[in-house]
């Protein structure tokens, strides 16, 4: 628990998150995720930290199995940037409202991370780092789009027992997390992996534990 307030209290972004935002704003993007000079559809995701019963946590959604893209995959709330969003911050918050019913009035944006590119879908993604100052109830708004919503503690994600590598379709081997019945992999897991390291939460884990994505889900 973060000292000085109870979980769920209305509290400003803690110093550790502001420090993380400052470091993450200039983090190096993996060459495989570096955006091309032109092209790609602009989008944003919301990396929302809150103060849960077991310390800092992150908000994840699990996408519906009926979706054409990323079916069944855990992710951060987010989607394409619309003309009326005014940029990635507006898009990330709007998508979180539409997907899980988040009250944006209780969220403080603390930073913008470097843009990354997802070759498989052609999306250019800006991660928006935020603090859940006043947590609100969240749940899937449209079951056809979001199957479940989970707040997962940083402690769970940093636990070496949850960590593994997965071998994906294009031949790459990337970080993954098995937690709360979900397998977090791909772009989302890559972001979590970097944030754990930058935030000083990462613990030694067995990176030789490699599973094939097609058989491990």
Over residues 106-149, the pLDDT tens digits come to: 999 999 999 999 888 899 999 999 999 999 999 999 888 899 99
Provide φ and ψ at 44, rounded to 5°.
-150, 150
**Is it the case that residue 215 has pLDDT exceeding 90?**
no
- Local confidence band at 172 (pLDDT 50, 70, 90 cut-offs): confident
Mean pLDDT of 26-39: 88
Listed in sequence order, the DSSP H helices in the chain are 15-24, 88-100, 154-158, 186-198, 213-216
How many angstroms separate the CA atoms of 35 and 166, rounded?
23
Q: Using alpha carbons only, how large is the chain's radius of gyration in Å?
A: 16
**Is it the case that residue 1 has pLDDT exceeding 60?**
no
164 - beta bridge partners? 176
**pLDDT the model gives residue 76:** 97
**Is it the case that residue 73 has pLDDT exceeding 70?**
yes
How many angstroms separate the CA atoms of 156 and 173, rounded?
22
Q: Helix (H) and strand (E) counts for the chain?
A: 5, 12
Mean pLDDT of 163-192: 91
How many angstroms separate the CA atoms of 148 and 210, rounded?
26
**pLDDT the model gives residue 6:** 44
**pLDDT the model gives residue 169:** 76
- Local confidence band at 171 (pLDDT 50, 70, 90 cut-offs): confident
Could you count the other beta carbons within 10 Å of the beta carbon of residue 33?
16
Instruction: Using alpha carbons, select from 183, 159, 176, 164 the residue that is nearest to residue 62.
Output: 183
Q: Kindly list the structural domains of the chain, giving each domain's residue range(s) and its CATH number in brackets, ordered by start.
A: 15-153 (3.90.79.10)
Residue with tokens 């054409």: 68
Q: pLDDT tens digits, residue range 137-160? A: 999 998 888 999 999 999 999 999
**pLDDT the model gives residue 66:** 58
- Which secondary structure element, helix H or strand E, spans residue 52, and what is its range? strand 41-52
Least reliable range by pLDDT among 16-25, 70-79, 80-89, 204-213 = 70-79
**Is it the case that residue 216 has pLDDT exceeding 80?**
no
**pLDDT the model gives residue 33:** 84
- Report the share of the chain in percent with pLDDT over 90: 72
Mean pLDDT for the chain? 90
């Amino acid at each position: 628990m973060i000292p000085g307030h109870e979980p769920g209290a209305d509290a400003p972004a803690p110093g550790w998150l502001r420090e993380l935002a400052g470091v993450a704003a200039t983090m190096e993007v993996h060459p495989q995720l570096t955006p091309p000079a032109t092209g790609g559809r602009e989008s944003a995701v919301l990396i929302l930290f809150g103060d849960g019963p077991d310390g800092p946590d992150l908000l994840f959604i699990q996408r519906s199995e009926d979706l054409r893209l990323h079916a069944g995959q855990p992710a951060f709330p987010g989607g394409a940037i619309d003309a009326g969003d005014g940029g990635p911050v507006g898009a990330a918050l709007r998508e979180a409202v539409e997907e899980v019913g988040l009250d944006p009035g209780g969220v403080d944006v603390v930073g913008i991370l470097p843009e990354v590119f997802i070759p498989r879908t052609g999306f250019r993604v800006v991660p928006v780092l935020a603090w859940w100052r006043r947590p609100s109830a969240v749940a899937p708004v449209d079951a056809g789009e979001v199957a479940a919503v989970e707040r997962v503690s940083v402690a769970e994600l940093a636990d070496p027992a949850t960590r593994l590598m997965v071998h994906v379709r294009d031949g790459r081997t990337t970080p993954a997390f098995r937690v709360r019945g979900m397998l977090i992999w791909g772009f989302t897991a890559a972001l979590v992996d970097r944030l754990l390291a930058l935030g000083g939460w990462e613990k030694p884990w067995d990176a030789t534990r490699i599973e094939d994505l097609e058989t491990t889900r």
